[in-house]
Every structure is written in C-alpha cells, then in structure tokens.
Amino acid sequence: MPELPEVESTRRHLLETLTGARLEAVWIGHPRTGRRNQRPSDVVERLTGRRVERLGRRGKFLMADVEDDLTWVIHLGMSGRIALHGPADPVTAHTHFRATTDAGIEMRFIDPRTFGFVAVFTPEELSDDPLSRLGRDALEDLPTTAEFSTWLDSRTAPIKALLLDQRFVAGLGNIYADEILHLAGVHPRRPGGSLRLDEIERLRSAVPLVLEAGVAMGGTSLDDLAYLLPDGRAGDYLDRLMVYGNEGEPCEKCGNVIERMVVAQRSSHFCSRCQV
C-alpha cells in the first residue's frame, strides 16, 4: 500500500513533468476524490490555467505549491496511484482525476477504493484541515532519539500503533512499520513507554534504513492492481520484505517462523525470537 517510499518514488517520477508546468484541462470524475474541498469543483477551478511551482511531500501526502498561494494535495489512500499518459491513451477503470500540462502530458489519478483524494487548499483552508497537524517527515525531518523518548514516555499504546500515528512521525504505514520493528528487534505489541533508550535508538535508526531502501527500489508493489510507478512499472521492494506478508515462512535473520497477530486493528508480522 502506498506509504512514504511509494509516495516519494511517485514524486520523483513526477518532478520533471510537473515542476513549472501549467495545467490546462483539469477533470475530476468522482465526488469522493474531491471531498476534501468544500466544493469538489474547486479542484478544477483552482488548478485550471495555473502553474505548478514546486512538488513536495510530507509523510504520505504529495503537496505541490501552485500559483497564487494555493496548495495542491494528493493522497494515494490505500489503492491510489498516479499515471502519466498522452491525452489520447485509453482511460482505465477507476480514473477519477485528470490534468493535462502545457507540454501535452496527462496526469491521471487512479483509485479503485476511493480512500485517496485530490484537493486544492487556500492557506486558511490548509490551516483548518487535519493535515496541518501532520507530524515530522520520517525521511527528511526524523526526530532525534531524545525526542522519540519524550514522546514515548509513559505511553501505554502498543509501539506499532504509535508508529502508525501520523501526528508525531509522518510516513510510516503497516508494511514499513512491521519492517522497521523487525530490524530494530522490538515486538509490535510492546507498550510505547516500556522501550529502553537503547531500543528507542535502534528503532529510530531503523527508520531511515528501511525507508531509504524502499525508495531506492521504487517502493513495494504487492500486486498489479495497487501501487505502481507513474510509468506503470512495479516497485521492487516486495522481494526485500523480511516480515510483512511472510507469515509461516522462516525469519531471514534467525530461521524462526514469522507470526502474524492483530495490533491496532492492523495485521502485524513479526519474529518472536528476534523481536522481544
């Protein structure tokens, strides 16, 4: 599912096409895709004719600066992906947003489960939106071990749930949280406040190791229907996963069988020998 490495891989592939491009024909075809704007038609009205100044990312949100202080925000949700096409290419199912650049390239947002969205915010709207409370980016702005320690202090929620909470560190999802906990040797159900300083340090240092490897491989494509790069290719990190989706298989570190349990309403994959 799209997490930070998938969103960052998508951003890097879009940079050349979108940076400095003027958007011409803009279309939104599903009410849920534009639901974060009070009026979904604002997405079309605000983007049409305007130039994209810069394409950034915070956590799992693509955030582009657009002329006149607007912020164009795209979230891939669970099943969203972006594809670049020529305007005459056949439109595939679940295409809910299209925008043509002045160079004649069409960007499409494809999202079968409609958990994702496309929105355009004014500065005032952005400060009112929950995404203004997003935490620090897990790749570009990772908190220090001391800051992690303060945040975890006396917390009773399982560490897995806390890693998925986007309000402190933004960008981790179910797959990479499992991988990070495995690399750090921490059990997903450990209460956040129970982690010793050396464990917090291992956890914190595992974050960039896992995420940067994910970005280098173009992200994780679980199957052909979910995340793909904008040119339609699959990301290659699937083969590198140590625990996610490996239930019943031997741990590559110790040979113990990988187990699965539900933590924070999400399936968690872990090695009970490596992770304590």
Residues 6+ apart with CB under 8 A from 131: 61, 73
Binding mask 205-234 for DNA (x = CB under 7 A): ------------------x-x---------
Q: Would residue 2 show up in a list of annotated catalytic residues for this protein?
A: yes
C-alpha pair distances (Å), 262 with each of 61, 118, 190, 275: 26, 31, 13, 16
Q: Would residue 160 show up in a list of annotated catalytic residues for this protein?
A: no
Give 22 or 266: the residue with its C-beta nearer to DNA.
266
Determine if 235 is a binding residue for DNA (CB under 7 A).
no
Catalytic residue (one of 46, 50, 60, 108): 60
* Residues 260 and 269: beta-carbon distance below 8 Å: yes
* Residues 58 and 136: beta-carbon distance below 8 Å: no
CA angle 198, 199, 203 (to 5 degrees): 120
Determine if 174 is a binding residue for DNA (CB under 7 A).
yes
Q: Would residue 87 show up in a list of annotated catalytic residues for this protein?
A: no
Q: Would residue 3 show up in a list of annotated catalytic residues for this protein?
A: yes
* Residues 200 and 168: beta-carbon distance below 8 Å: no
Determine if 127 is a binding residue for DNA (CB under 7 A).
no
Beta carbon of residue 22, minimum distance to DNA (angstroms, whole number): 28
* Residues 97 and 33: beta-carbon distance below 8 Å: yes
Determine if 110 is a binding residue for DNA (CB under 7 A).
no
Catalogue the active-site residues.
Answer: 2-3, 60, 266
Which chain residues interact with DNA by CB under 7 A?
1-3, 32, 59-61, 75, 77-79, 93-94, 112-115, 129-131, 155-158, 161-162, 164, 166, 173-175, 192, 223, 225, 264-267
